[in-house]
Chain A
Amino acid sequence: MTKTSIKCLLATALAAFALPSFATLSILACEPEWGALAQELGGDKVSIYNATNAFQDPHHVQAKPSLLARARSADMVVCTGAQLEIGWLPILQQQAGNARIQAGQPGYFEAAPYVRMLELPSSIDRSLGDVHPGGNPHIQTDPRNIGLVAAGMAQRLAAVDPANAAAYRANYQAFAARWTAALANWEKQAAPLKGMNIVVHHKAFVYLENWLGLKEIATLEPKPGVEPTAAHLSEVLALLQRQPAQAVVRSVYNDPRGSEWLAERAKIPVVVLPFTVGGSERAKDLFGLYDDTVQRLLAALK
């Protein structure tokens, strides 16, 4: 065994037994994109735990014991809101015995109020499927929303942890500058995507479509949250004969069968989008997420 590998082993062993650092602000992020954003803004002042990963449907997560344990110690919870987490977050708030993360406390941060919500339903009825009264909650598919939420989150971090307020402000300014540059770059790259017709699995990409000027022809789900049925897929296929689309788009956590069935028959590619940080090899952070999203869509045009 070489000296370096012994050192590595020692370091790993030490890391495994190291106590959690109490000096940092402990943040429980409902979805990885907010975890990644909090990391950008918090730097070494925060420690992040993501409640879900990119392969999970954030609508359907359980208030499992590991999340209760994390919610107990969290100084702050950062979530999408708009009732995306309604099936599990209220249980965490009720059972974790943590006053800091209750609704209305500074330690409870929702991203949705900082952006302009799309698909605000004019009427609410469960027969319409899984409709969210606050609008479509998948706001992270438009990077401009990330920029808006970043401003709000930076302010909130400073409010929750005033001792490090200056650091959060500085991190935000640095992030905002990088983000603006990156945005311009993505928009330049994505110019050919404008007007591209797509079919989506779930209504998860309205913000992306709005950003890049994509046109959603159909959804594979007959109703939001209802898995594709054979009859509905056939209807979509028939629709594509009249109104062709250039790709079928789904997120990594969607069941691949519906999009593959349609892609094969309509002779169009399936674009699997990372959807959030960690959803693909390249989506290691927020910048990688949109790099990869744009590249994958562009690849479908070729």
Chain B
Amino acid sequence: MDARRIPLLLALSAMPLTAAADDVDIRALRDEVAQMRAAYEKRIDALEQRLAQAEAKATTAVTAAANAEAAAATPPPAAPVGTNAFNPNVSLILSGLYSNLSRDPAGYQITGFHLPSGPLGEIAPQRGFNLGESELGLSANVDQLFYGAMNFAVHPDDTVSTEEAFIQTTSLPQGLTLKAGRWFSGIGYLNEQHAHTWDFVDAPLAYAAFLGGQFNNDGVQLRWVAPTDTFLELGAELGRGAAYPGTGRDKNGSGASAIFAHVGGDVGASSNWRGGLSYLTTAPQDRQWNDIDAAGAAVTNSFTGSSKLWIADGVWKWAPNGNANVTNFKLQGEYLRRSEDGTVSYKLTTPGSYAATQAGWYLQGIYQFAPYWRVGLRTERLDAGNVDYGGNDASLLRPDYAPARNALMFDYNPSEFSRVRLQFAQDKSRQGVTDNQIFLQYQMSLGAHGAHKF
């Protein structure tokens, strides 16, 4: 403040010194100067005050504006939460089943298809009350780059298996997603979906025969979504291939590889669809199965070679205006075709060349006719195809039989989280056996809200 006044005062005080040296005049001049000084000082003070006021006003206005904007545009802080706030999402699936089968499932086989005893145990029906597969899932974002999830399945016989345990990127560029760990393969339509989201109690026969129900793999998966308005996704997988149709192995490199492509889109507001084509190759080694030979004796054989599976899949969903709450319809079908080449050891001792091409398909439609109520039909068939046992042709049977099954189901879904299902099926997967089946099932989900794939 003082620094600003100095030049003005100097100028004022320098002026009168050149005037006459008369005392009276000097006194008068001094008074005048003093008055002027006082007057100027007053005015300067006033000016400074106004400046300060203006400055303060401007600051307040800016702050007020900033505050207003902040109040409007900044979300209020989230409620403080404890250290468990970072706990992953937990979801639990509970399911139970009652099965009434008209035929004894002992020694269940799908005629003409060589399933090892492991996967066969998984797909063979059981009579009476059964705890279905219970599932415990944990999932969360790991950090800004990764997401992780794990799913345990608790089986009715008290064994636990790891269905999925994987990490997945969330931040790769260009529509890429990389997954590593154990995961359900992206082949086909149904394979990647958890069993509790299936529309029937059991997997289709073709999935049972060619994938042992569902194929999971330990390895890496890379997916790419194209930057187009029509959905196009390509995927490639490399993995251990320990699950049927592969076998456990102790080798460097990959034991199973797969590629798949999915396309999809909308037709108007009411319909949407997805189609896919997948190819899975595995390299089973000493894959054993129990069979009855041409002489009627129970034998164990094994296969070593390469197994190639093609899957074509399609699903079409309809709901009036896309509002599925009251009525909706879903049509879904898949065609699987497998070629295997290699060596079959009859009784594990007599090797002979082996070549087989087999196929199977299912087609199902699910109609929700009222809120919560759905009815579904599934029809399916397998084609035992051409099987060439080479040198073992005379020892092993090649039944000319096409396994088939038809199923009808009703389910009631009182909420997104619960389902009770009744299913009737006529199963002709075993030659000469017609098994009439009745299933009553519940499936419930607790915990974190599931988000289901299309």
Interface residues of A (CB under 8 A from B): 20, 52-53, 55-57, 60-66, 68-70, 72-73, 83, 86-91, 93-99, 102-104, 113-114, 126, 129-130, 148, 151-152, 154-155, 225-227, 253, 255
* Inter-subunit contact A69/B232 (CB<8 Å): yes
Contact of B452 among A52, A91, A98, A255 (CB under 8 A): A91
Task: Verify A64–B449 contact, CB threshold 8 A.
Answer: no
Residue contact B274 to A55, C-beta cutoff 8 Å: no
Nearest A-chain residue to B264, judged by Cβ: A65
Per-residue A-contact encoding for B331-370, CB less than 8 Å = 1, 0 else = 0000000000000000000000000000000000000000
Identity of the chain A residue whose Cβ is nearest the Cβ of B145 in the assembled complex: A99
Contacts of B170 in A (CB 8 A): 93-94, 99, 102
Roughly how many angstroms separate A155 CA and B68 CA in the complex, as a whole number? 13
List, in ascending order, chain B residues with CB within 8 A of A253's CB.
Answer: 323, 325
CB pairs A–B below 8 angstroms (13 shown): A56-B323, A62-B272, A62-B317, A64-B454, A65-B231, A68-B225, A72-B225, A91-B453, A99-B173, A113-B75, A114-B72, A227-B325, A255-B325
- Choose among B76, B230, B453 the residue that contacts A69 (Cβ–Cβ < 8 A): B230
Q: How far is the CA of A141 from the CA of B28 in the complex (A)?
A: 81
For A83, the closest partner residue in chain B by CB is: B449
- In the assembled complex, the Cα of A97 lies from the Cα of B16 at a distance in Å of 85
Q: Is the pair A151, B321 in contact by a Cβ cutoff of 8 Å?
A: no
Task: Give min CB distance, A167 to chain B, whole Å.
Answer: 17
A66-B272 CB under 8 A given contacts A97-B176, A151-B73: yes
Question: Quick one: closest B residue to A99, CB to CB?
Answer: B171
How far apart are B147's CB and chain A's nearest CB, in angstroms? 6
Is B39 in contact with chain A by the CB < 8 A criterion?
no
In the complex, the answer to whether A66 meets B266 with C-beta atoms within 8 Å is yes
Nearest CB in chain B: distance from A21 CB, A: 13
- Contact code string B63-77 (vs A, CB < 8 Å = 1, else 0): 000000100111110
Residues of B within 8 A of A148 (CB): 72
Asked whether B391 is an interface residue with its Cβ less than 8 Å from the other chain, the reply is: no
B contact residues around A94 at 8 Å (CB): 147, 168, 170, 177
What residues on B are CB-neighbors of A97 within 8 Å?
A: 172, 174-177, 223-225
| B415 engages A69 (CB within 8 Å) | no
Cβ of A113: which chain B residues have Cβ within 8 Å of it? 75-76
Chain B residues touching A, range: 35 or more
How far does the alpha carbon of A70 sit from the alpha carbon of B266 in the complex, in Å?
12
Can you list the 3 inter-chain pairs with the closest CB atoms, starting with the nearest? A65-B264, A113-B75, A65-B231
Distance of A45 Cα from B425 Cα, bound (Å): 57
Report yes or no: B371 in contact with A65, Cβ–Cβ below 8 A: no
Q: How many Å lie between the Cα of A73 and that of B173 in the bound state? A: 11
B18 interface residue per 8 A CB criterion: no
B225–A87 touching, CB < 8 Å? no
Residue of B nearest to A255 (CB): B326
Q: Is the C-beta of B227 less than 8 angstroms from some C-beta in chain A?
A: yes
User: In the bound complex, what is the Cα–Cα distance between A95 and B452 (angstroms)?
Assistant: 12
The closest CB in chain B to the CB of A102 belongs to: B170
Number of A-B contacts (CB under 8 A): 148
Q: Is there an interface contact between A151 and B72, defined as CB atoms closer than 8 Å?
A: yes
**Quick one: closest A residue to B74, CB to CB?**
A152
- In the bound complex, how far is the Cα of B230 from the Cα of A57, in angstroms? 23
Q: Would you give the shortest CB distance from B81 to chain A, in whole angstroms?
A: 12
- Report B214-248 residues with CB < 8 Å from chain A CB: 223-233
Asked if A103 meets B141 with Cβ closer than 8 Å, knowing A64-B266, A97-B177, A113-B75, the reply is yes
Q: Does B265 contact A (CB under 8 A)?
A: yes
With known contacts A65-B231, A69-B231, A95–B73 Cβ distance under 8 A:
no
Q: Once the chains bind, are B225 and A95 in contact (CB under 8 Å)? A: yes
Nearest-neighbour CB distance to chain B for A148, whole angstroms, equals 6
Asked if B372 is an interface residue, CB under 8 A from chain A, the answer is yes
The answer to whether A87 touches B449, judged by C-beta atoms less than 8 angstroms apart, is yes
Q: Shortest Cβ distance from B356 into chain A, in angstroms?
A: 35
The reply on B417 being an interface residue by CB < 8 A is yes
> Are A87 and B269 in touch, CB under 8 angstroms?
no
**Roughly how many angstroms separate A167 CA and B76 CA in the complex, as a whole number?**
26
Chain A residues, Cβ within 8 Å of B172: 97, 99
CA distance A176 to B227 in the complex (A): 35
Using CB atoms, name the residue of chain A closest to B326: A255
The distance from the CB of B249 to the nearest CB of chain A, in whole angstroms, is 30
Report Cα–Cα, A25/B230, bound state, in Å.
19
Interface string of B250-280 (1 = CB under 8 A from A): 0000000000001111100100111000000
Q: Assess whether A86 is in contact with B451, with CB atoms less than 8 Å apart.
A: yes
Determine whether the beta carbon of A62 is less than 8 Å from that of B226. Answer: no
CA separation between A89 and B325, bound complex, in Å? Answer: 18
Q: Check B371 against A227 for contact (C-beta < 8 Å).
A: yes
- Most B CB contacts (10 A, CB to CB) among A60, A61, A69 go to A69
Specify the chain B residue showing the minimal Cβ separation from A114. Answer: B75
Chain B residues with CB under 8 Å of A226's CB are 414-415
CB distance from A266 to the nearest CB of B (A): 22
A72:B321 contact, CB within 8 angstroms: no
A64-B266, A65-B272, A98-B175 known; 10 new pairs, CB 8 Å cut-off, are A55-B269, A63-B451, A64-B264, A68-B454, A69-B265, A89-B451, A91-B454, A94-B170, A95-B453, A227-B325
On whether the beta carbons of A72 and B227 are closer than 8 Å, the reply is yes
Bound CA span A103–B172, Å:
15
Structural contact, B262 and A65, CB atoms closer than 8 A: yes
A48 to chain B, nearest CB (A): 13
**A126–B72 touching, CB < 8 Å:** no
* Chain A residues near B371 (CB-CB < 8 A): 227, 255
Query: B323: shortest Cβ distance to chain A, in Å?
Result: 5
For A62, the chain B residues whose CB sits under 8 A away are 272, 317, 324, 452, 454
Residues in B neighbouring A89, C-beta threshold 8 A: 451
A13 to B147, CA, bound (A): 43
Tell me if A72 and B323 are in contact (CB < 8 A).
no
